[in-house]
């Protein structure tokens, strides 16, 4: 059974800092990994999707990497801003399937 | 706007009632999903439909019955509501599953409160 863990559970940083969020999964037989952000009381916004054959994806100040063999992904946020404050979730799609298994989330607060 | 939409956004009801949540996507996707987010914010798949056909049915009480009248709609009907059903329910959609693709797009959620 796939289990997805995110560390840290919560993070508070000053504005402008570069930061890394971690995601680990127990079964490396995945099709892809997706990073989302969730604002309080809102739905999920897809940030990046990394296919199993890829090593990283970039979108603006966000960079996500994937090391499938070790069961790890990181989300790097450059020059953090207060608007980045949200909960960040990673989720994996198993090989041959299409359901997402979600991680436990990292609650990020970027302070002025 | 192209998106996944859900109605209602909030639903407050008494134990024992029957209620429905509706979901629609205009992204042209073939596959739709229902997820449940519990009080600890953990998200878990409930159901998935591909072109109106049920393809995923996790261990969910049979009081929950999804219905897909067409591939753009996936509704969730819940009978005999219980306190433990209180949660946020998210609908999502994706294109037909292809190896390495399957980016999922989520609706805004329906916050269900059972009193």
Contacts of B24 (CB under 8 A, 6+ apart): B4, B5, B6, B72, B73
Integer Cα distance of B66 and B77 in angstroms:
6
Contacts of A35 (CB under 8 A, 6+ apart): A23, A46, A47, A48, A49, A62, A64, A73, A75, A88, A89, A90, A91
A10-24 pLDDT, tens digit per residue, is 999 999 999 999 999
B34-64 pLDDT, tens digit per residue, is 999 998 889 999 988 888 888 888 878 899 9
Distance from CA of B48 to the nearest CA of A (A): 8
Distance from CA of A16 to the nearest CA of B (A): 28
> What is the interface size between A and B, counted as CB pairs within 8 Å?
63
Amino acid B2: pLDDT: 63
Residue among A36, A59, A98, A103 with most chain B CBs within 10 A, to mutate: A98
Distance from CA of A12 to the nearest CA of B (A): 19
A90-99 pLDDT, tens digit per residue, is 999 887 667 8
Low-confidence ranges of chain A (pLDDT < 50): none
Amino acid A89: pLDDT: 97
CA A67 to chain centre: 13
Amino acid B100: pLDDT: 46
Query: CB B103 to CB A46 under 8 A?
Result: yes
Amino acid A9: pLDDT: 94
Summary mean pLDDT of chain A: 93
Ramachandran class of B24: left when φ > 0, alpha when ψ lies in -120 to 50, beta otherwise:
beta
Low-confidence ranges of chain B (pLDDT < 70): 1-2, 96-101
Amino acid B54: pLDDT: 86
């Amino acid at each position: 059974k796939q289990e997805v863990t995110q560390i840290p559970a919560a993070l508070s940083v000053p504005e402008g800092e570069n930061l890394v969020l971690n995601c680990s999964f127990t079964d490396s037989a995945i099709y892809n990994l997706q990073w989302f952000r969730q604002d309080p009381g809102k739905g999920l916004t897809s940030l990046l999707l990394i296919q199993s054959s890829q090593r990283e994806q970039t979108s603006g100040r966000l960079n996500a990497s994937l090391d499938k063999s070790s069961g790890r992904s990181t989300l790097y946020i450059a020059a953090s801003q207060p608007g980045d404050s949200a909960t960040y979730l990673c989720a994996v799609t198993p090989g041959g399937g299409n359901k997402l298994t979600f991680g436990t989330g990292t609650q990020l607060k970027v302070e002025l | 706007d192209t998106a996944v939409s859900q109605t209602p956004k909030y639903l407050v009801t008494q134990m024992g009632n029957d209620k429905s949540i509706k979901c629609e996507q205009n992204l042209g996707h073939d596959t739709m999903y229902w997820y449940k987010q519990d009080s600890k914010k953990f998200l878990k798949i409930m159901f998935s439909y591909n072109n109106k056909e049920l393809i995923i049915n996790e261990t969910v009480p049979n009081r929950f019955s999804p219905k897909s009248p067409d591939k753009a709609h996936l509704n969730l009907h819940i009978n005999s509501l219980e306190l433990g059903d209180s949660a946020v329910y998210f609908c999502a959609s994706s294109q037909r599953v292809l190896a390495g693709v399957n980016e999922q797009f989520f609706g805004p959620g329906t916050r269900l409160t059972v009193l």
